[in-house]
Amino acid sequence: MPNTPDAQAYEEMTRRFATIAHLNGAASLLDWDQMTKLPPGGREARGAQNAALEGVIHERLVDPALADAVERVAATMDPDDEFTHDWVRQAREDIRQATAVPAQLVEALALTTSKANAAWVKAREASDFASFAPVLAEVVELNRERADALGWTEHRYDALHRIYEPGSSTERVRGLFARLQAVLPGLVQEAAEGDASRQDDVVERPIAAAVQERIVRDVTARLGYDYDRGRLDETVHPFAQAIGVGDVRITTRYAEDRWPTAFFGGVHEAGHAMYEQGIPAALYGTPLGRYASLAVHESQSRLWENHVARSQAFWEGYLPHFDAASGGTFAGVDAPQMARAVNRVYPSLIRIEADQVTYPLHVILRFELEVQLIEGSLSVQDLPDAWNDGMQRLLGVTPPSDALGVLQDVHWSIGAIGYFPTYALGSMMAAQLWERMEHDLPDLEDAMRAGRFEPLLGWLQERVHALGRRKLPDDLMTAATGRALDPEPYVRHLTHVAQGDLTRRLTS
């Protein structure tokens, strides 16, 4: 007769993880506030608050009573109870990671990254990397210590990367990125010789920031972002933040002379947020009530941003609304022209504003630099030169300033080393999911033309969102698409973009 879990142990395990989830939500709220509303004078105190809260969360995770409850459940659960098996597997991994990292290091990371983020904001405004370098060096050293505490065999970077992408590795990323590096230079050159690189003033037509905000709210709501459970704010570096059930927030930034910055940034973050809003509330407070990985998370944002909002089918439906909301700024522009304009392929300086074809090269550069920083072959002081050399080698452009180069991303200032590869991995996943979606939803483009995005969102909710962390990334991709992560759908998609072929189906 199958075993049933120890009821007392199950209740204790559930209660303890629910408390940790609530504390993590409070920490997320502090992070959101720091990035959006916190006055400069409050940054030092916020650092201390973050460190204290991270310390409390760490103490709760490493409490032997929690591990004991998990193991008692594991010893008595039904062998056929897949849900509880998934619960226990993820609980054990969360506890293992927390137990491996000393409490002093957790608090030091929280305190130092809060200080580093404040220093980054000032350094970026002044385009002065030298002022940021000392605290960045501290962040790098603390991450080396964290990697050693977590444990690694081939590459120290593996331990950090797996925080964000379970089951991945430095060598796996290198192999996948090698495929991209083999084809991207040729695609960029092909685009330069064809219509895909043609300059169009459509993306530079000015729109006031207040008008852009209304447009971003409109388009994200149409796609499926629920404003009853979210909000839109402005920040230096756009992000989405899950605070708890019923509270998933997005941000963007406005450039009045380049509206795609806010428009596609808002759609991108709404893609992240719709993923979080789609995780079942019943899973909240358990180790399963989060996203599968950051690459899976990125697959959602890149899918909505690139496969939906940059498609000609989307603009065939949305352009009249967009033109009306902007006061007739785009009168005379048709959907094919708009699709060409927002998919123009050309080497540029800023990752979050890069076109689809050159975007992975920005990610590859950051991945290379991160590995070198963590493995000790590159010093923080030499980072700007290494950055500029890499930009010239991969994209043929050299940043004229630190603000447009090494200081453009927030990630290192918040200690998120190991994160960057997930952007390109997520883009690969998005293309693979899209090909499968095209197969399963043959009227997908017609639905987008009609402004109906419910079938698309419903497919993602069923295949990705509803699972939370029940599956590892490769298992999730296999279940959703029939195979593990494969770069070829992404190569096919980028080839079509580089060729200016914006109406052809990926699977044709």
Indicate which residues carry an active-site annotation.
Answer: 269
The token pair that represents 219 in the structure block: 């388009």
* First and final C-alpha spacing in the chain: 52
For the beta carbon of residue 392, count every other beta carbon within 10 angstroms. 13
Three-class SS state of 451? coil
Spatial separation of the C-alpha atoms in residues 148 and 151, rounded to whole Å = 5
If we measure between CA atoms, which residue out of 87, 479, 462 comes closest to residue 288? 87
Region for residue 415 given its phi and psi (left: phi exceeds 0; alpha: psi -120 to 50; beta: otherwise): left
Q: What is the 3-state secondary structure (H, E, C) of 260-271?
A: HHHHHHHHHHHH
Burial (Cβ within 10 Å: 0-12, 13-18, ≥19) of residue 123 = buried
Which residue type occupies 217? R
From 344, 336, 345, select the one nearest 316 (Cα to Cα): 336
**240 - beta bridge partners?**
250
The Cα 398–Cα 223 span in angstroms is 37
Alpha-carbon distances, residue 142 vs 102, 371, 372, 373 (angstroms): 12, 15, 15, 12
Alpha-helical (H) ranges within 77-128 are 82-100, 103-126
Cβ distance 367 to 285 under 8 Å? no
- Rounded CA-CA distance 247/250 in Å is 10
